[in-house]
């Protein structure tokens, strides 16, 4: 029964998680292609076409070469190979072009297409000795000869286009010749082929050398445009905060956005946090675009150094303080308790996402609000003193219990680093012997996922800083650590436990908590934010780091704390991969204890 539940829930997790994370290879669909971010628009179609070719070629190879059977080629098969022999070299070339477009799938495509070519070769050698082969070779030679004059004309035209800078047209025309030539020459000896190629190879070399620079420049332009579009506007935020705080100071309310919805200080503060979440996701996308763009020669920008990010982070803190301080200036003393408690609720809801510095500054600003009602401020001080030690001891005990559980539930990134190494012919996400910290692909993603699946699925793992993604998604996501993160089904604590917490913290419907720590304890229990969680790995996904960050959805950006971009090794971004687990939760760590969702 439990097993059945596992399978059903696992399906739900995968289904839901895929809603907010674009598809990638996983243990459930190992042949799924790596996600394309499409910053250079033509990348998507090029990648789709390439994936179609390698998928078909791999499927075909599987059909003609059952396991443990020596290769045997009939002429029927030789004829079917015709298409692949042309398309595969083109796919190798397109893979290289995709890499120039900052697409991690480029390397994957080139490598899978090249592998297919290698696997086809033994069949070709065998077929060449067959009795009917001589006749077939004659036909191919005739095809080459007949088409040569027209082809040379086309190649001359292509060279003209190259010289006039019309690279795309030249490349597209050359692609067609590539398919024809390679699908024809595979069965012929090099002596036969050499005199019949004309200017094919030299034109190709000319195209490659002429195309690299403009393509790099073009891609770079696309990245720069995308970055400009994404970059959060600190000045606009600052102006908004000034307008909002002026309005709060004079009327106690302000327009939340450009529409006419009015809100009080806490509502404006919540709006600020929403703006931060959206901007935070944008910063992650900017980091992804910088990594993608960095691949190009000559791009020496260190993507991890973004002075604009610090400006934004500072602006958010100033805005937060301005809103609360404006409220403190205009508020009537009798309104202080409600307002203070509303602010605590708003901050506690987002607490696991926020930077400690931001929280500290916001709490300092809240002290000014408290000063407007000294007797309430006394209550708050007493409440804090009467609850903080309980919270401290419970939190320590929960940490200790979680530490004990970690012997059976190691951290997910530790499991990946120890179990998902390359071993013999099995690809892993770390080389066999290395001190690399961030996972990367060294073979095709599908081969890698197939090799690591038995080593990772069904392991029990723990994760930390689990943040609920909202009622609609029914999932929560854990922090990204060294290229590993996880998603779990939403777990909210049972009401019977929440009541006990409320008793200990002297909280009831009429008496909301008066400290941030106590508010967080209750809010986290109700929303399903957890300090940590542990459970069984039911699925593993490989997500190219560049694509994941370049297309980061707003909700998913919580895998990185607000104000930060993930640290990573910036030398090998193109093949770096995020290893995501879907975990069926066995336990969650709340700041007041460990809970079993069953």
Q: Which residues are at the interface with other proteins (CB under 8 A)?
A: 337, 375, 378-379, 382-383, 385-390, 392-394, 396-398, 400-401, 403-404, 497, 500-501, 503-504, 506, 510-511, 514, 592-593
Would you say 182 and 174 are in contact if contact means Cβ atoms under 8 Å apart?
no
Nearer to other proteins, 380 or 420 (CB): 380
Beta strands in 455-524 (DSSP E): 460-468, 475-477, 484-489
Nearer to other proteins, 213 or 396 (CB): 396
Nearer to other proteins, 390 or 436 (CB): 390
Min dist CB 397 to other proteins, Å, is: 4
Q: φ and ψ at 587, to 5 degrees? A: -155, 155
Min dist CB 511 to other proteins, Å, is: 5
Nearer to other proteins, 99 or 462 (CB): 462
Min dist CB 337 to other proteins, Å, is: 8
Q: Please list, in sequence order, all residues whose beta carbon lies within 8 angstroms of the beta carbon of residue 124, skipping any fewer than 6 positions away.
A: 73, 78, 81, 186, 187
Min dist CB 380 to other proteins, Å, is: 9
Would you say 324 and 362 are in contact if contact means Cβ atoms under 8 Å apart?
yes
Min dist CB 411 to other proteins, Å, is: 18
Q: Dihedral (C-alpha) 333, 337, 343, 349: value to the nearest 10 degrees? A: 180
Nearer to other proteins, 29 or 335 (CB): 335
Nearer to other proteins, 196 or 339 (CB): 339
Nearer to other proteins, 310 or 500 (CB): 500
Give the strand pairing for 484-489 and 577-590: parallel
State how far the Cα of 581 lies from the Cα of 535, in Å rounded to an integer: 11
- What SS3 class is residue 352? helix
Residue-wise over 281-294: b if at least 16 C-beta within 10 A, else e?
Answer: bbbbbbbbbbbbbb
State how far the Cα of 539 lies from the Cα of 6, in Å rounded to an integer: 11
Residue with tokens 């327009």: 255
CA-wise closest residue to 478 among 373, 405, 403, 558 = 558
Can you read off the two tokens belonging to residue 71?
């290769």
State how far the Cα of 46 lies from the Cα of 51, in Å rounded to an integer: 9
Helical H runs in 354-432?
356-370, 374-405, 412-419
Min dist CB 363 to other proteins, Å, is: 17
Min dist CB 6 to other proteins, Å, is: 25
Min dist CB 372 to other proteins, Å, is: 16
Nearer to other proteins, 83 or 406 (CB): 406
Nearer to other proteins, 394 or 474 (CB): 394
Min dist CB 401 to other proteins, Å, is: 4
Angle (CA) 182-183-189 rounded to 5° is 70
């Amino acid at each position: 029964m439990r097993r059945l539940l596992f399978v059903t829930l696992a399906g739900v997790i995968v289904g839901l998680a895929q809603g907010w994370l674009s598809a990638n290879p996983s243990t459930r669909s190992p042949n799924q292609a790596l996600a394309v971010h499409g910053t250079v628009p033509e990348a998507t179609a090029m990648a789709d076409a390439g994936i179609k070719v390698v998928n078909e070629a791999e499927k075909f190879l599987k059909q003609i070469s059952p396991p443990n059977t020596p290769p045997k080629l009939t002429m029927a098969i030789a004829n079917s190979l015709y298409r692949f022999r042309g398309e595969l070299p083109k796919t190798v070339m397109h893979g290289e072009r995709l890499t120039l477009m900052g697409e991690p799938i480029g390397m994957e495509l080139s490598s899978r297409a090249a592998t297919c070519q290698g696997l086809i070769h033994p069949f070709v050698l065998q077929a060449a000795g067959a009795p009917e082969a001589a006749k077939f070779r004659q036909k191919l030679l005739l095809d080459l000869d007949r088409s040569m004059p027209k082809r040379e004309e086309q190649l001359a035209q292509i060279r003209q286009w190259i010289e006039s800078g019309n690279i795309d047209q030249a490349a597209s025309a050359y692609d067609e010749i590539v398919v024809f030539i390679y699908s024809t020459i595979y069965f012929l000896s090099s002596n036969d082929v050499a005199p019949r190629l004309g200017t094919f190879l030299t034109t190709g070399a000319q195209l490659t050398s002429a195309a690299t620079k403009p393509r790099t420049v073009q891609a770079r332009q696309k990245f720069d445009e995308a970055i400009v579009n994404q970059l959060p506007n600190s000045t606009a935020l600052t102006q908004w905060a000034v307008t909002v705080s002026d309005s709060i100071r004079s009327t106690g309310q302000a327009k939340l956005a450009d529409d006419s919805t009015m809100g009080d200080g806490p509502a404006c503060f919540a709006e600020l946090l929403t703006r931060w979440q959206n901007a935070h996701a944008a910063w992650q996308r900017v980091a992804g675009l910088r990594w993608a763009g960095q691949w190009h020669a000559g791009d020496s920008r260190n993507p991890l150094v973004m002075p604009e990010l610090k400006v934004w982070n500072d602006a958010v803190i100033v805005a937060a303080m301005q809103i609360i301080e404006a409220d403190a200036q205009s508020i009537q003393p009798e309104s202080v308790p409600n307002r203070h408690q509303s602010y605590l609720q708003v901050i506690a809801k987002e607490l696991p996402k926020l930077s400690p510095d931001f929280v500290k500054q916001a709490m300092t600003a809240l002290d000014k609000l408290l000063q407007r009602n000294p007797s309430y401020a006394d209550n708050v001080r007493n409440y804090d003193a009467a609850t903080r030690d309980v919270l401290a001891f419970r939190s320590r005990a929960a940490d200790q219990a979680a530490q004990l559980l970690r012997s059976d539930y190691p951290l997910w990134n530790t499991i990946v680093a120890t179990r998902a190494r390359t071993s013999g012919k099995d690809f892993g996400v770390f080389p066999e012997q290395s001190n690399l910290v961030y996972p990367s692909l060294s073979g095709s993603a599908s081969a890698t996922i197939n090799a690591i699946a038995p080593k990772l699925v069904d392991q029990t793992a723990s994760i930390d800083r689990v943040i609920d993604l909202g009622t609609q998604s029914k999932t929560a996501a854990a922090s990204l650590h060294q290229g590993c993160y996880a998603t779990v089904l939403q777990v909210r604590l049972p009401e019977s436990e929440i009541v006990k917490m409320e008793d200990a913290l002297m909280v009831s419907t009429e008496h909301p908590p008066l400290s941030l720590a106590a508010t967080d304890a209750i809010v986290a229990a109700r929303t399903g934010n957890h300090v940590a969680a542990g459970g069984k790995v039911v699925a593993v996904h490989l997500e190219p780091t560049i694509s994941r960050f370049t297309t980061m959805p707003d909700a998913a950006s919580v895998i990185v704390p607000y104000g930060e971009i993930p640290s990573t090794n910036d030398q090998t971004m193109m093949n770096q991969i995020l290893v995501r687990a879907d975990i069926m939760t066995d336990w969650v760590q709340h700041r007041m204890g460990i809970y079993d969702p069953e």
